[in-house]
Structure 1
Amino acid sequence: MRNGLAKAICVAIGLVVMTPAAQARGIDCAKATSRLDKIICADPEMLDYDGRIAAAYANALTVWKGAIAPYVRKDQQAWLQAFRAIGRDDNGGCTLDDKACIRQELRSRVDDIESGSYQHSGVYLAADGRKLLLHPRRANGFALRVFKLPDANVMSLEEERAALWDGPDFMVAKMGDANGLPLPNPQDGPDPDGCTLRLAPSPLSIRVWQTGYCGGRNYAGDFRRDLTQTLADYQFELF
């Protein structure tokens, strides 16, 4: 029976993607062969991050009885693909000689996947073509972007406490322009309180209410979760 478990992907840092009911595990340092594996195994802090990522990933697969497991797998694979590129010529981030950078990459993933907002993170679509991207942040934090290309594009302000929870059921974000700066109001000038979105998330959808001018556009409505896309799919599209 043990050999019958569906192991999907063995990755360079030792995480294993399994069925939702199974547990992912961290790197097996006794079998480490790549230079990246060995760097992680030789650094207690990195190794701790690796174990935390594995545990949080395993837990995320079971959220809402596995309702978002397809997204969790794709999101983890997208992150791992980028992480495994460290040391390759086409990787624009860390090098294998920059241990502080590798450590920070792992720490950033810990912050995202352990976030209380991770279970709601991802890509949401409205019937009229609008898209909502919800990025997890450290603790219960999150960042929000709503857009309909080419011109309707807002994101949560780049300031502390711009995106908060209002109790356990509602997320509230003060929105700015595509760069997270206050939207101009033709009557009052730049107004950082001029666009606020209130979100009610559920496992497979988000309902959005809007207050404020918001650049004269409407970002309210119902957005369905697309489990086939990840935030990594949009890392270059809007910038």
Structure 2
Amino acid sequence: MKIAALLLVSLSILSAAHGAQARGIDCSKAATKLDRAICADPAALDYDRRMAAAYGIALASWNGAITRYVRLDQQEWFTGFRTIELEAAIDSDCVVTDPACIRDELRRRVEAMESGSYTYSGVYRAAGGMKLLLHPGRANGYRVRVYDPARAARINIVTVGGERAALWDGPQFMVTTMGDSNGLPLPKEDGCTLRMLPEALAIRVFQNGACGGQIYEGTYHRLLDETLRSYELELH
């Protein structure tokens, strides 16, 4: 029964997702418990409206070149968020009677979508199979992981922890200090920074330093049909 309920929720969401996400909730027509809970909470409702606005902006970014990714990313988040309405939801720790938790879920999504790095976020792959995952953060923040799926135990680096580990150099270049696969600093002789130039459908990576003796430099092409949600273990 739970699986059937999840399928029904998912199908109903996908059928109306694009318009609803672009407009936000119409509280005069709120039909679900979750919509009514959001409409009853001014802060949550404000997040919902901000998310709808950010979604519209993202769809138009790069003259629509990443529309497919933005829609898929939002659909996957939206589907997981809507499971809050189900008993024993598997994609959320929230319940529909907990407005603070719902508000936090919306806040985190808004922070990601309003981030200056959101339109660059996602999954990228180099010709040799290396992958780059760019996760948006609050304001202009971001976090990067670059790894070889076939040799992830050895070739796997991620932005180190710390407020100034992922910066912008002007409006175009992203510069991030890389750590080991857990985000811990590399030994001084193995340390490195990656300087990245994002474009609509690719990121060019320039390496400064040893990076543990591996080469991560190159061009990584965007995979519009993959989202960060599929790589949660790598990101967190």
Question: Which residue, 204, 220, 223 being the options, matches 1:223?
Answer: 220
Question: Which residue, 155, 176, 180 being the options, matches 1:173?
Answer: 176
- In structure 2, distance between residues paired with 1:110 and 1:238: 19
Change (3 A) 1:49 1:92: closer
1:98 Cα deviation (Å)?
2.4
1:10 Cα deviation (Å)?
6.9
Match for residue 99 of structure 1? 99
Match for residue 27 of structure 1? 25
Equivalent position SS for 1:38: helix
Change (3 A) 1:174 1:237: closer
Match for residue 86 of structure 1? 84
- In structure 2, distance between residues paired with 1:177 and 1:96: 39
- In structure 2, distance between residues paired with 1:159 and 1:177: 14
- In structure 1, distance between residues paired with 2:139 and 2:233: 26
| Residue 201, structure 1, aligned to residue 198, structure 2 | yes
- The alignment-based identity, stated in percent, is 56
- In structure 2, distance between residues paired with 1:229 and 1:46: 28
TM-score (norm 1): 0.86
Match for residue 45 of structure 2? 47
1:238 Cα deviation (Å)?
6.6
Deviations 1:134-174 (CA, angstroms, capped at 9, x unpaired): 01111111110111123211110111110000001100000
Match for residue 17 of structure 1? 18
Question: Which residue, 31, 53, 56 being the options, matches 2:54?
Answer: 56
Structure 2: tracts of 5 or more residues without a match: 1-10
Which letter does structure 2 place at the counterpart of 1:32?
A: A
1:214 Cα deviation (Å)?
1.2
Contact 1:200–1:207 (8 Å) recurs in 2: yes
More helix by share: 2
Q: How many residue pairs are counted as aligned between the two chains? A: 220
- In structure 1, distance between residues paired with 2:12 and 2:109: 18
Structure 1: tracts of 5 or more residues without a match: 1-8
TM-score (norm 2): 0.87
Which letter does structure 2 place at the counterpart of 1:126?
A: A
Match for residue 8 of structure 2? none
Deviations 1:178-229 (CA, angstroms, capped at 9, x unpaired): 11111135xx5xx7xx210000000000000111221111111010011111
Question: Which residue, 58, 63, 66 being the options, matches 2:64?
Answer: 66
Deviations 1:96-137 (CA, angstroms, capped at 9, x unpaired): 232211111100111111111111111100011100000111
1:73 Cα deviation (Å)?
0.3
Greater CA drift, 210-219 or 157-166 = 210-219
